[in-house]
A and B are shown apart, each in its own frame.
Chain A
Amino acid sequence: MPDEEVIEEGVLNPLKQEVQDPLLKQIMQESALEPEPQPAEIPLPTDEVDCLVIGTGAGGAPLLARLAMAGLKIVALEAGPWHDPKTDFATDEKAQEFLFWNDERLSAGKDPVAFGKNNSGTGVGGSTLHYTAYTPRAQPDDLHLNRDFGVGVDWPFGYEELEPYYEELEHFLGISGPTPYPWGPKRGRGYPLAPLPLNGAAQLMERACQQLGIRTSPAANAALSARYYQEGVGWREACTNRGFCQAGCSTGAKASMDVTFLPLAVAHGAEIRPNCFVTEIERDGQGRVTGVVYEHNGVTQRQRCRHLFICAGAVETPRLLLLNELALSSGHVGRNFMAHPGVQVWGTFPEDIRPYKGIPGGLISEDTHRPPDADFAGGYLLQSIGMMPVTFAGQVVRERKLWGAKLREYMRNYNHIAGINILGDCLPHEDNFLELAEEKDARGLPKPRLHFTNHENEIRMNRHAEQLMRRIWETAGATDIWAFPRSAHVIGTARMGLSGDDAVVNPDGRAFDVPNLYICDNSVFPSALSVNPALTIMALSLRTADKFLESEQRRDA
């Protein structure tokens, strides 16, 4: 195959030949036969919708439902397909790889972040299709790192703005958790359902923490500990302890968007279009968004809209803005890229654990929210973790560098291995950012390149956490203890703030540069928070919808 050799040779030098992806090559070969579709050939849209939403995850789905319920004509475009989890989802990690955003991202910096299954998603429901369902609230001081420590930036509003949405979400989604919750401010209402049962790893952590004087509690999880009736959706059955949340829930017990907000949105007239990948955002002479161009099963389409909501996550959202040179005046699109410190500590126990059973994040401690002996700003939470064998084995070989007979020997301990990890705050740094690479993807669009290096604060926090978790696991009776350093969720690449000088969107989620453009996902977080982001993204989503509706009412008045 001489032709292929020539193209492969060119891979090393993008100036000669920037086509590096086999799918793109195929597309180019096809388009050499047919002329590329010109914008004028895109079918003219028959109608304009009030609101168009890009992405159906934790950022897009709640506001889609809220705005549909307000009577607006609204459409959501989702890059991935629409699954039926009951029949499509296997209890098999490889078979479930379709849940992840598998278009390649280039990972740079001293601590390159893993993407794919680590922290990305696609499909109707977005990353919530494979989130762990861990839904702690942020604590009030999470929003004020600058006030309290003089680092990072504060959120442009306080906890009181999020609190009512947290409460609404906990009851709408049917979150299982402890009442009262041991940390943070006193709550008006408790969780609607009792906590899920503790699995082996959670029991080991509970036992050791008790001896060490560390408070623990069953965690808040968005998976049902009992049958639950949900407005607009119907009955959802209780969790069967499959332990497979991170590769897709097939029973509907986990509150992913496809079994909660999205059916509610559809019931109120919203339209969801799967397999629609947005490439262009169109504007008029005044810079207002007029619509988007997207690819649907190989056909280029256009949808006009009066307002656009980009909810595509902290990589695809800034990528879309950069590709379209949209809302860039602050210079902060792609900057302030933060990734949660998420170091894990593993150990081998005499007990039979069977780590595939039960809700993975069963037990939590927030005693480390502001540790008294901390030599860093902010803090972290501790949680027990379950694990699926394929993901775990991949981590073992990357970190412990085992292979051959030694690897097979270690992996035979699988049923006796348990882990704990942290989820900690991260500070923004000049050299941690997203940019467009020269290298193109299968669509001919530049791939995103993300630079990430842990700085002093993250390094100190990880060290503090690793020491503590090692002590917990030693106390629990573990041997062969080892740590897996990792960065989890990606955050902050189109941040919210009070001024368009150093932020992309205002406190309502509206772009400073473009009056009819809203952004809602983890990219708008001004700081990373010391908790898993899903619940706060959903809270922001409902709040963004309410702020939008208020502004529309003001205009009408």
Chain B
Amino acid sequence: MTSPHYPDGTVRALLDTELVTEATRTALQARLDAPPYEPQFLEPATYDLLRAVAACLFPQPDRPDAPIELAPGVDQRLAEGRSDGWRYDIMPPDREAYRMGLGGINQTSHALFQQEFRALTPDEQASVLQLLQEGKAPGEAWETVPSDRFFEEMLAELTELYYAHPLAQEEIGYVGMADATGWNRLGLNDLEPREPEAISPQPGL
């Protein structure tokens, strides 16, 4: 079963139209125009580790020169002390969890491959993260922070940052932001002209 592919540029083109409200345009354009980011909370080496983890969780071979950067959103949130309203009681506070969890990723990498995470091959990196997800990762940090919960929380945060980006929304054919005039065609297989059609076979066919 093949997932659909959508053309590039759909959301970017819509942002320049009156189909997008000012508040919506401001939010999305800021992500497209994000300037290079210097970490404010994590140490530079830890920040680079987070970038490497993000690159493993969201490989973007289709954007070799300019991948969607996910680490800035995490570092900025931690620096500002923002929360999403809850956390698992068994987890330490977010700042501590990230610091310990990222340290734990290097501990696991050393235990398995005698090198830190960033020096591993993509397959080795994936196997480290896989063990985290399964709650089976070796490393002292995981005695304090459950690796599976840490992995779940980090993956969920990076995922939400990824799919909030206009380029990721182009990738999945989402144009819900272009709603200033509302939607009239709601039913199955009933598209409005501004809704992009897939350019490859659809699933289940």
B129 to chain A, nearest CB (A): 7
A401-B175 Cα distance, complex, nearest whole Å: 26
Q: Are B85 and A116 within 8 A (Cβ)?
A: yes
Contacts of B164 in A (CB 8 A): 92-94, 390
Q: Are A203 and B187 within 8 A (Cβ)?
A: yes
Enumerate B181-200 residues with CB–CB distance to A below 8 Å.
181-191, 195, 198
Q: Are B56 and A404 within 8 A (Cβ)?
A: yes
A68-B21 Cα distance, complex, nearest whole Å: 36
Q: A390-B164, A405-B59, A416-B202 are in contact. Are A241 and B85 (CB under 8 A)?
A: no
B193 to chain A, nearest CB (A): 13
Contacts of A242 in B (CB 8 A): 176, 179, 182-183
Q: A241-B183, A394-B160 are in contact. Are A479 and B172 (CB under 8 A)?
A: no
Nearest chain B residue, comparing its CB with the CB of A401: B133
A467-B164 Cα distance, complex, nearest whole Å: 33
Q: Are B93 and A11 within 8 A (Cβ)?
A: yes
A397-B162 Cα distance, complex, nearest whole Å: 12
A7 to chain B, nearest CB (A): 10
A442-B82 Cα distance, complex, nearest whole Å: 11
A421 to chain B, nearest CB (A): 19
Q: A352-B189, A412-B3, A415-B4 are in contact. Are A393 and B159 (CB under 8 A)?
A: yes
CB of A106 closer than 8 Å to a CB of B: yes
Q: Are A413 and B3 within 8 A (Cβ)?
A: yes
Contacts of A108 in B (CB 8 A): 88-90
B1 to chain A, nearest CB (A): 7
Q: Are A104 and B3 within 8 A (Cβ)?
A: no
Q: A8-B99, A200-B188, A243-B176 are in contact. Are A90 and B21 (CB under 8 A)?
A: yes
B127 to chain A, nearest CB (A): 12
B2 to chain A, nearest CB (A): 9
A349-B187 Cα distance, complex, nearest whole Å: 14
Which of B22-30, B44-52, B109-117 touches A? B22-30
Q: Are B85 and A112 within 8 A (Cβ)?
A: no
Enumerate A383-419 residues with CB–CB distance to B below 8 Å.
388-391, 393-394, 396-398, 401, 403-405, 407-416
Q: Are B169 and A102 within 8 A (Cβ)?
A: no
Q: Is the interface of A mostly helix, strand, loop or mixed?
A: loop
**Which residue of B85, B99, B163, B176 contacts A101 across the interface (Cβ within 8 Å)?**
B85
Contacts of B185 in A (CB 8 A): 357
Contacts of B95 in A (CB 8 A): 8, 11, 22
Contacts of B26 in A (CB 8 A): 90
CB of A244 closer than 8 Å to a CB of B: yes
Q: Are B203 and A350 within 8 A (Cβ)?
A: yes
B30 to chain A, nearest CB (A): 9
CB of A107 closer than 8 Å to a CB of B: yes
A173-B135 Cα distance, complex, nearest whole Å: 49
Contact flags B148-178 to A (C-beta < 8 A → 1, else 0): 0000100110011111100001011111110
A104-B77 Cα distance, complex, nearest whole Å: 14
CB of A89 closer than 8 Å to a CB of B: yes
Contacts of A353 in B (CB 8 A): 188
Enumerate B66-106 residues with CB–CB distance to A below 8 Å.
80-90, 92-93, 95-96, 99
Q: Are B188 and A12 within 8 A (Cβ)?
A: no
CB of A348 closer than 8 Å to a CB of B: yes
How large, as a class, is the contact surface on chain B? 35 or more
CB of B32 closer than 8 Å to a CB of A: no
How large, as a class, is the contact surface on chain A? 35 or more
Question: Which of B28, B95, B159, B171: most chain A CB closer than 10 A?
Answer: B159
CB of B204 closer than 8 Å to a CB of A: yes
**Which residue of B85, B176, B202 contacts A389 across the interface (Cβ within 8 Å)?**
B176
Q: Are A90 and B24 within 8 A (Cβ)?
A: yes
CB of B5 closer than 8 Å to a CB of A: yes
Contacts of A273 in B (CB 8 A): none
A492 to chain B, nearest CB (A): 18
A175-B152 Cα distance, complex, nearest whole Å: 39
Contacts of B17 in A (CB 8 A): none
Q: Are A12 and B144 within 8 A (Cβ)?
A: yes
B60 to chain A, nearest CB (A): 9
Contacts of B83 in A (CB 8 A): 102-104, 116
The 8 closest A-B CB pairs, nearest first, are A240-B182, A116-B85, A356-B176, A22-B81, A95-B27, A108-B89, A412-B3, A115-B86
Given contacts A102-B85, A348-B1, 11 further A-B contacts (CB under 8 A): A22-B80, A95-B24, A97-B84, A104-B86, A112-B89, A116-B86, A239-B182, A240-B179, A240-B181, A353-B188, A356-B174
Binding site for A on B (CB under 8 A): 1, 3-6, 20-24, 26-28, 56-59, 80-90, 92-93, 95-96, 99, 126, 129, 133, 144, 152, 155-156, 159-164, 169, 171-177, 179, 181-191, 195, 198, 202-205
Q: Please name 25 pairs of A and B residues whose Cβ atoms are closer than 8 Å in the assembled complex, sorted by A.
A: A11-B92, A20-B93, A90-B21, A91-B20, A92-B164, A104-B85, A105-B86, A112-B88, A115-B85, A116-B83, A116-B86, A117-B85, A241-B184, A350-B202, A350-B204, A352-B190, A354-B195, A388-B176, A390-B160, A394-B160, A403-B129, A403-B155, A411-B171, A412-B5, A416-B203
